[in-house]
Structure 1
Amino acid sequence: MQKNVCFIIDHLGVGGVQEFILNYCTFVRDNRRVTVVSIFENDLYSERLRAAGAEVIFLTERRHSYAAVLDPRSFYAFYRYYRDNGRRFGAIHLKLFAAFAYSSMMFLWRSPKVSAGLDCSRNQLPFPIQALFWAFARRYRRFYLSALVWNEYTAFGLRQSRLRNQIYPVTRRHSDMPKTYPARFSFLSAGRGIPQKGHAEAVALFQLIQPLLEGDGCLSILGEGPAVDAIKIAYPEGDGGNIAFPGSVTNYDDWLIGASCVIRMSIGEDTNSVIREALLAGKLVATTLEGPGCRDLAERGLVVAIDRNDLPGSAARLAAAVRGVTAEKSAALRLASEQLWSDEEAFSVYD
């Protein structure tokens, strides 16, 4: 019997949660009909989701923002859609905070088919959003959260019997037309344009690396938001053309496959999709060690560790590592990564 599955998400702009849903739609088809409901109009994924067999619905024509989330019209659009369509789904999974807030206001935790979750460590959440999840997360019958951060959320009162380990599938990135960069050594910092993603710290590290590479390096910051806007103001000329701000890109595969290295300096975020995708593509990854997953990767020799308290030393290690990248080392990264992450386990968690 076919099961109708619905993901309700705040928006379809850039993000690891959006990639998760795309992967789910791509690989889980046998007895699933998937509907993806986006509350706001931000859209980088609808075309690919539809190609993967999903039905995609946008509830409003407004772009995602705190003001839009607080607009009663947004809530009413959510309420009306659920009222008219909720019965036809066998499972409804809420993603990101607006979907969670609206659902909680409607007491949807009472339904056994509605689940919620969090996709980040606790210190990445602004206090008002922490308060929202503290108040309501414990009420849901199933709550998805990476087991690596369960202890961080102890104060939220989540019952062990209701917790589900959130395991993330990994997008296998490939490109027939890799990006050509203007320097020999090309670095990427990818993620939403918020301070927690560490783009400003990536810029600081890059500026220390440049002299060690005789100036033959460039940094591309992929993502949009206030933190990226602040960097643009600080470097209106892109630091002499060495720093580029492409924004949110639809061809991330081309950017990644063409790059020499990914710099990941997120604050309080353990191993994320940026790290996993880069390693599976055989790319050098430099990252701060924000949790047990990152520390394990460093102990295995799969990433270059960045110490926030010693950026000059970290820059020296990274410069030496990026100079030493070979085809053999890239192949070894790919092989080790494939043994670490199982997509089948990630998808089965929603069965």
Structure 2
Amino acid sequence: MKALLLSEIVVGLFLRFFIIFSRKEVIIIKHMFNILNLKKLISGLIIILGITFVSFALMYISPGDPVEIMMSSNGSTVSEEVINLKKEELGLNKSFLEQYATWLKGVATGNLGTSIKYNRPVSQEILSKLPATLYLALLSLIISIIIALPIGVFVASNNNKISEKIIRILSLFGPSMPSFFIALILMYFACYKFRLLPVSNDGPSAIILPTITMVVGIASKFIRQIKSIVLEELNKEYVIGLKVRGVSKNQILFKHVLKGCALPIVTMLGLSFGSLLGGATIVETVFMWPGIGKYAVEAISSRDYPVVQGYIVWMSLIFLLINYLTDKSYYLFDPRLRRERGENSK
């Protein structure tokens, strides 16, 4: 949050400088680009730069030598001279700032480096594993909203009833339990107790348990959030006016209230998809799902700096893209924003 605020200040000062000293050029630029989008882009780049710098520093000062871990993984003893030569080859004998500058220069040209452990380009490895993570997160999000939306609306429209209280209590269990604990319970009952699924599964059914694990937590959170959103909308003045005019409860709910709830629900989905991508790391590791999260965990344990940095860059870009698309989707659901945008463009 502080990084975002600082970046907004820097961008604001930058733009003000040009407004004072080159007003005509700024007017031309305003017609070519949307200043708000430009500020968001620059803010996003500054945030990514800060995140990568901090993560690179943490990996640099963390105990353990990636070359020693890599060479001792096969059980053989390697001399100090061979280790030093390998470090020199990989550039790990340089100072922290030199290593970071070299890596950043490669990123600017689209080169995320080569994995120390696997000796393969990081970008290719990430792109090969990213679809599995996106598939798991997207499927979990779709199922979660299908379950949570009707339940959340039902709970909000039947507030203070026994059914609402039961659902509210049950919805507290999902977020209160860690995902790895839910995963272990599912594995015990589905794979060991009732033998519904094999423990090691590479077929189409391999997605079932990871998806259920993620849905349990996210759907429970969605139910409570949707309930709060709908309740807030039901307490607005226009709803009271519709009730006074004799409009039916179902018509108020489905024709007016849900339309007003679209923006906060879209925001909730956008933020949740980003958190699902991050939360999938534990689930992927437990179920051996071949996604980018499991790949990143293995890279951290082996001190594979290029892979960890590449993972952070990709996830940061995905987060920024999701936030950007979420902002743009507001214009689809709110005609007032479209009118304001049309008036400003005139």
- Name the TM-score, length of structure 2 as normaliser: 0.22
The answer to which structure, 1 or 2, has the higher relative contact order (CA under 8 A, 6+ apart) is 2
Higher strand share: 1
Higher helix share: 2
Larger Rg: 1 or 2? Answer: 2
- Name the TM-score, length of structure 1 as normaliser: 0.22
